[in-house]
Amino acid sequence: MEANFLKSTFMVNASCSKRGNCRKLPWRKDTNLCNHTITTFSSHGVPRLQYKKSTGAFIYQEEATSEKVKQDDQLLKPNGTKVMTEEGIGIVRFLKGKNFLITGATGFVAKVFIEKILRTEPEVGNLYLLIRSKGNVTAEDRLKNEIINSELFRCVREAHGSNYEDFMLNKLVVVDGAVTDDDLGMEEKVAMELSEIVDVIVNSAANTTFDERYDVALDINTGGPYRLMKFAAKCTRLKLFLHVSTAFVNGQRKGRITEQSFKLGDSIARERFMSSSSAPLSTSSPSLRSSLLKLDVEGEIESALRNPVNLQDKHETQKMKEFGLEMARTYGWQDTYVFTKAMGEMAIESIKGDVPVVIVRPSVVESTSNEPFPGWMEGNRQVYITTISMMDPVILYYGKGQISCFLVNPKGVLDVVPADMVVNSMLAAMAKHGAKGKPGTHVYHVASSVTNPLIFEDLAKMLYDHFSSSPYVDYKGRKIGVPEMKLYVSWDDFSDHIWRDFMERPGNLAAKSSSKLSRRIENVLLKSVEQAKNLAKIYEPYTFYGGRFDNSNTQQLMEEMSEEERKAFGFDVVNINWKDYIINVHIPGLRSYVMKGRGTSRRP
């Protein structure tokens, strides 16, 4: 009787006094209670009740409550007396029993999101993960290899012990498909079943490469949300559609940028023209008028995807990359990635109907600050030029001695936010608006540039301090010394420094005595210089970015959380100590999970 009462009433969370020495899972419905003292917790993580099977005694622990409490946030004692909890959003309460459909599930942010849910509320319903099979690798194989076996889930593994894999396979359900396919690539029967049980849809699928082929980026970043929202309209019990975007969808806007949603056809170029020019549009040049016309999102999708994509044709690939950048800049965005992501938001807004929508816009997403442990990032991700890993290529090239300068505004801001804070904000916004279920779109910037800016020249100093005390080593085990990083605002000064830096390296100077080596070194130099210049060119819109992301909605969201929720689901970027985060958390995480310890010197 006691076991049934505990399972039905206090299943939010529990801790056995024997911890790791106890092999039983008291809150699994198929497991008997152990004989130890078990402490249960409220939805906010506060000790609430102790149960000792040997005596059958219930011991309640009082907790302070605010004067205002939500009437629906309460538990019952065995005698029927109501136990009130502190006022808050009720994040854990919302998660319990909910079924999710999650896209981009094998990606960086989505995996942190999945881990947090499973660790925080094991009694969540099922997480249906849209995963595409790749060649001979099935979607189920990818679930096991990329999620269940991931180092990220080690805390969940420790909590469930030998039952870990059973727990994961019981909670995580693979749906073979992709947002780039019609009807998401799902079988009709599967789609019908999901439409009747899904409570929340989370779209985290994206191609984050800045200069991706236009047709490829459009297909996933714009067409993906469009197809997913069409499916959402069929879901009979859907409470929320949560879309993970990026703060840089604000394109070339300047100054303090508010959390506003896009409408179909919005154009940053037109917006800037209308706010800065008093001349009528009719008097402008034909080329300017064409660039300021209403953006035809549906037309862009149709025209770009009309022909099959041939990824093997290098000429076509380069042509489509250039076309994407041209289109983005014409309409007021800095690159293909943020342009197609902005159109994705417009597509959602155009067909959402009465579906409640939350759009979370993080800035540059980097390694976790605290949870499930500090410094985690995707271990097998290549360091592409993306907003998911924007500063990592620079960190690695600098630490390895491959670059000693960069093109950047020294007084400019790199807007960075840790992945766990992004996920916590997603959960808070989801619980708030999912519980209400009211139609509308709510936008949240998860960003630091307004409330706690990271200045580029400060970052350069942090990198120098770290690699001076903990240098990389070369293939012979020799420590790689790094100079203080030079920051240039001029392309000419930057290019001159790169050439001079490469030419004056000892190995390159020695090679000049041999004509054969000299030609070989010259080719290597040309390639290295072009790589550095290409990196700077792609990053230039961000290293000289003039916008600052207002996060008033996000701050208000934090104000509505209880004290316990802020501790368990914190995302206040004001509290980040950037020097500590960069030197003691992020770079060690980069070295451990991306570099796998390669090039790391051992301290004496």
Cα dist. 60→40, 46, 75, 78 in Å? Answer: 10, 12, 12, 11
Establish whether 337 is a catalytic residue: yes
Cβ–Cβ under 8 Å, residues 268 and 332: yes
DSSP secondary structure string for all residues of 7-34: HHHS-S-EEETTGGG----TTSTTS---
Secondary structure percentages of the chain, helix, strand, coil, to 5: 45, 15, 40
Residue among 567, 546, 29 nearest 255 (CA): 546
Residue 537 token pair: 């060119």
Q: What's the CA gap between 334 and 247, in Å, rounded?
A: 13
Who contacts 168 (Cβ-Cβ below 8 Å, separation ≥6)?
118, 147, 148, 153, 156
Angstrom distance (rounded) from CA 233 to CA 353: 8
DSSP label of 105? T
The DSSP annotation for 560-583 comes to TS-HHHHHHS---GGG--HHHIII
Report the run of H or E that residue 427 belongs to, with start and end.
Answer: helix 419-436
Dihedral sign, Cα of residue 306, residue 308, residue 309, residue 314: negative
CB 75 within 8 A of CB 55: no
Smallest CA-to-CA distance from 167 within 157, 177, 178, 152 is with: 157
**Cα–Cα–Cα angle for 363, 365, 366, rounded to 5 degrees:** 140
- Cβ-Cβ contacts under 8 Å for 463 (sequence gap 6 or more): 395, 398, 399, 482, 485, 582, 587
Cβ neighbour number for residue 13 with a 10 Å cutoff: 20
Q: Do the beta carbons of residue 148 and residue 191 sit within 8 Å?
A: no
Retrieve residue 584's tokens. 């003691």
Q: Which tokens is 248 given?
A: 């840089």
**Integer angstrom CA distances of residue 596 from 371, 395, 548, 593:** 20, 15, 34, 5
Catalytic residue, chosen from 98, 111, 116, 341, is 341
Asked whether the beta carbons of 585 and 375 are under 8 A apart, the reply is yes
CB 167 within 8 A of CB 121: no
Residue in 51, 128, 214, 337 annotated catalytic: 337
Query: For this structure, is 134 an active site residue?
Result: no
d(CA 353, CA 336): 28
CB 408 within 8 A of CB 324: no
Integer Cα distance of 245 and 338 in angstroms: 9
The DSSP symbol for 594 reads: I
- Smallest CA-to-CA distance from 324 within 344, 312, 338, 306 is with 338
Catalytic residues: 337, 341
